Amino acid sequence: MENSPRSKRKVLVGTVTSKMGDKSVKVTVPFKVRHPQYLKIINRKSVLHVHDEANTAKVGDRVEVMETRPISRLKRFRVTQVLERAPDQVAQLKDETTETAAAKE
């Protein structure tokens, strides 16, 4: 099983920061790097456009994503599982602000 092609795919854990549309979310994956000259540890992040087939991920959830074939112009990862749900209040506030911003436009 270890030599199968699926085992070579990247698996990352991140937080859903935006629900873009139907079956799409943005996931922020934090990581740490050492500065080459000053040797200080720096916090960095990658923002991934992720495919969410079941529409289960909400803003603030911790999710596991896996590298996959290109699904669209930007989406190269898909949600494999939701590890931890966001508190309902935070998710509701984010959804309300998106709805009010969409209503103003």
Q: How many CA atoms lie within 13 A of 49 on its CB side?
A: 12
Per the CB < 8 A criterion, the answer to whether 99 and 68 are in contact is no
The domain tally of the chain equals 1
List the CATH number of the domain containing 30: 2.40.50.140
> What is the domain range of residue 24?
5-104
pLDDT at 88: 77
State pLDDT tens for residues 12-53. 999 999 998 999 999 999 999 999 999 999 999 999 999 999
For residue 101, give the DSSP letter. H
For 59-92, what is each residue's pLDDT tens digit? 999 999 999 999 999 999 999 999 999 887 555 6
Neighbouring C-beta atoms of residue 27, cutoff 10 Å:
25
